[in-house]
Structure 1
Amino acid sequence: MPGEMRTFEIFEILEPLSQTIPFVYSSPHSGRVYPPDFIAQSRLEGAAIRRSEDHYVDELFSAAADLGAPLLFANFPRAYIDVNREPYELDPRMFDGALPAYANINSIRVAGGLGTIPRIVAENMEIYARRVPVEDALKRIDEIYKPYHAALRGLIARTHVKFGFGVLIDCHSMPGNIRVSGSNIRPDFIIGDRYGTSASTDLSRFAMHILEEMGFTAVRNKPYAGGFITEHYGRPARGLHALQIEVNRSLYIDEATLQKRPDFDVVAGAITAFMRQMADYVEKFAGDTALAAE
């Protein structure tokens, strides 16, 4: 069973001794502490319910603090509540009781079973054996979703005040079988900037350049352009840039067993080098109006 703790810290922030670079790193989907009451509600067991995790992404990006940036990472699993959604993207068919009138029940993500309280994990596997009390869903939003975003907003605001601008890197992983539509390209990394709306195009292109120089296959925005976090916090005109990065899981874990591959530390080292070069780039061009606040 993927976790036996009855109580746990909702999230953690790995802080540098002093923030020296205008970056914030977030890993909203790497949580792997599964509350027993959630396991009791689920029809899935063992590795099946873990299919939505961004496995060990918090560890892959853990050097952020050594480089001078905070890393916020979830301990709760994405299958329990997804903070990379609007706060109330909810499917009324999942719940016992009436949802609040302001719930977004018609989004594409809700229709696909991937709302704030997900209905499925990967491969369209239904999570719940029966309807979830609506009070349970609203409690998760109040006690987990809202505190996570309050912490993220605080880190971004602090960074913006200190440096005059800021860069949020939202860190994720993707299945190894992902292909770019219309091609046979299997990307190692995907950089998402919401098609240029959440970050400077120069910044996202440089991120891809770093990865390609390391020998990785990197693409931009396809098939993942960024979720709610990237869209919501990216405000380039205000000097707030948000990029989503997806790492191909097959690079660092065995997707059948979910165990780390021998190359795990090599991939983590490459990501550390990526973070360092991103910081160097932003420091070099900090006065550029494309990055700094107007």
Structure 2
Amino acid sequence: MNPVEVLQGDSPVVLGLPHTGTFVPDDILSALNARGKELSDTDWHIHRLYDGLLAGATTVRATFHRYVIDANRDPSGASLYPGQNTTGLVPMTDFDGHDIWQTEPDAAEIERRRVAYHAPYHAALQAELERVKARHGVAILYDCHSIRSDIPFLFDGTLPDFNIGTDMGRTCAPQIEAATVAVCAAATQSHVLNGRFKGGWTTRHYGQPASGIHAIQMELAQSTYLTDEAAPWTYDETKSRALRIHLQDILTTLAEMAPQLKGTS
């Protein structure tokens, strides 16, 4: 299976989808324990949730599961959140802190996976951002994520519905951050800016406003669009229909804003 799927469009917005994939090759699947094989930490149905919301949006989607290798982690293995519980380039535990491997991958195996999966995903994402920037003079990466709203191993309390990450304003122009926050504030759901999730490696790596590439991460609480935050992870049509209105508003606003961002930092 190709590790990345790309749908090219002519909009200034690029959607990154690093965690919706569920493909695990047989040799890796056999090394996972029963808990790991549940693939519980998937960003379930996020590609479906965003499908068709912005005409002309480019999408770059990883097809492999984050337990194979996490496409939203620093390839060097450096932690995104030093001093806090998190999961690494190849997770050794799930989000609840439980082991997921019968046989943990060694350094050589992790490097093999980086070359086979992580690198092709980011090569494709980089290429699309550069293509879009060449067309519009600017590119806006909107990185799409979701997570269970209650995970004591990772954070206290219940996560807000919309979790916006810009690495404290470093990864995008302030107009992008403000416009996204404004849409979320007008919705009935809760939101936070640069709370527990400030933007993953993808957002921080590509978000270089001075170079014309802006990036923002949206981490949605899965309670906003799933029937229940547990297997079988059912997509809730009623919840999703309401949520998609707000997400479409965000994406449309960002796309319309792009011409104003040329030459800004």
Give deviations 1:225-282, integer Å, cap 9, x for gaps.
00111111011122211100011101111112211124233323432233123223x1
Query: Which position in structure 1 is the counterpart of 2:6?
Result: 13
Whose radius of gyration is greater, 1 or 2? 1
Q: Identity of aligned pairs, percent? A: 26
Q: Give yes or no for contact 1:175–1:248 (8 Å, CA) kept in 2.
A: yes
Among candidates 44, 47, 56, match of residue 45 of structure 2: 56
Rate the CA distance shift 1:251–1:138 in 2: closer, same or farther, 3 A: same
Cross-structure match for 2:208? 235
Paired residues of 1:252 and 1:260 also in contact (CA < 8 A): yes
Cα distance in 1 between the residues matched to 2:174 and 2:12: 18
Greater length-normalized contact order (CA 8 Å, ≥ 6 residues apart): 2
Matched, 1:271 2:247: yes
* Equivalent residue in structure 1 for 2:171, among 188, 198, 201: 198
C-alpha spacing 1:239/1:80, structure 2 compared with 1 (3 Å): same
Q: How far off its partner does 1:216 sit?
A: 2.3
Unaligned runs of 5+ in 2: none
| C-alpha deviation, 1:200, in angstroms | 1.4
* Cα deviation code 1:83-117 (max 9, x no counterpart): 1111131xxxxxxxxxxxxxx5x775698462211
Which whole-Å CA distance do the structure 1 matches of 2:158 and 2:206 have between them? Answer: 30
Deviation at 1:186, TM superposition (A): 4.3
Contact 2:150 2:157 in 1 (8 A): no
1:255 corresponds to 2:225? no
- Contact 2:86-2:95 at 8 Å conserved across structures: no
Query: Equivalent residue of 1:116, what SS?
Result: coil
> Deviations 1:56-96 (Å, cap 9, x if unpaired)?
111112225x511101111100111001111131xxxxxxx
Q: Partner letter of residue 22 of structure 2?
A: R
Change in CA separation of 1:49 and 1:261 when aligned onto 2, cut-off 3 Å: same
CA distance in 1, matches of 2:86, 2:179: 34
Q: TM-score, normalised by structure 2?
A: 0.88
Aligned length: 260
Separation in structure 1 between the aligned mates of residue 155 and residue 97 of structure 2, nearest angstrom: 23
- Alpha-carbon distance in 1 for matches of 2:81, 2:175: 30
Choose which of 195, 199, 212 in structure 2 pairs with 1:222. Answer: 195
Amino acid at match of 1:69: A
State the Cα RMSD in Å: 2.6
- Cα displacement (A) at 1:36: 2.0
Counterpart position of 1:174: 147
Query: Distance in 1 between the 2:129 and 2:249 partners?
Result: 23
* Deviation of the 1:224 alpha carbon: 0.6
Q: Which runs of 4+ in 1 moved over 6 A?
A: 181-185
Change (3 A) 1:141 1:185: closer
In 2, distance between residues paired with 1:205 and 1:63? 24
Aligned to 1:292: 262
Q: Match for 1:11: what amino acid?
A: V
- 8 Å Cα contact 1:10/1:74 also seen in 2: yes
